């Protein structure tokens, strides 16, 4: 059985064969959308349950309301997030993960745990490079 690095290298070669065409490369296409600065934070926050817009804004305080709106729309368009509008005055809007969004929690948790376990090593490598420059 191949190790993960070899398997990943083989996947990369398949992407090369597709000429990195984002319409035929699911990894490039999806990572362009969910690999931005805000999507993973919002998906991780919504993993704990439905949230209103204002709660999401408080949970990620350095995101602008415009960017929050744009990111939520993108996640909704891609099927990760459901937007529920209640006919109240003013309208009450709640965001939650769809089944597709919930299925992304497992690989996202793996990435988060890897980042937590390796953050100090990455910071040390950055410091070594800064010293060498």
CATH code for the domain in which residue 96 is found:
1.10.10.10
| Residue 2 lies inside a defined structural domain of this protein | no
The residue segments making up the domain with residue 38 are 33-132
pTM of the predicted model as reported, rounded to 2 decimal places: 0.84
Rounded Cα distance between 69 and 90, Å, is: 17
User: Over the stretch 51-107, which tens digit does the pLDDT of each residue have?
Assistant: 999 999 999 999 999 999 999 999 999 999 999 999 988 889 999 999 999 999 999
Handedness of CA 106, 108, 109, 113 (dihedral sign): positive
Helix axes 26-34, 4-17, angle to 10 degrees: 100
How many structural domains comprise the chain? 1
Rounded Cα distance between 85 and 1, Å, is: 49
| Residue 101 lies inside a defined structural domain of this protein | yes
User: Over the stretch 27-50, which tens digit does the pLDDT of each residue have?
Assistant: 778 888 888 989 999 999 999 999
| Residue 123 lies inside a defined structural domain of this protein | yes
Token pair recorded at residue 34: 């969910």
């Amino acid at each position: 059985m191949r190790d993960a690095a070899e398997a990943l290298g083989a996947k990369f070669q398949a992407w090369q064969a597709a000429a990195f065409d984002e319409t035929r490369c699911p990894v490039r296409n999806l990572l362009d959308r969910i690999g931005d600065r805000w999507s993973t934070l919002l998906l991780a926050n919504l993993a704990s349950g439905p949230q209103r817009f204002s709660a999401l804004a408080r949970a990620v305080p350095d995101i602008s309301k415009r960017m929050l709106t744009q990111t939520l729309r993108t996640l909704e368009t891609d099927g990760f997030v459901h937007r529920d509008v209640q006919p109240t005055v003013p309208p009450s809007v709640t965001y939650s993960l769809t089944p597709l969004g919930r299925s992304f929690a497992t690989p996202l948790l793996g990435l988060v745990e890897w980042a937590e376990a390796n953050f100090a090593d990455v910071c040390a490598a950055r410091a070594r490079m800064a010293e060498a420059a």
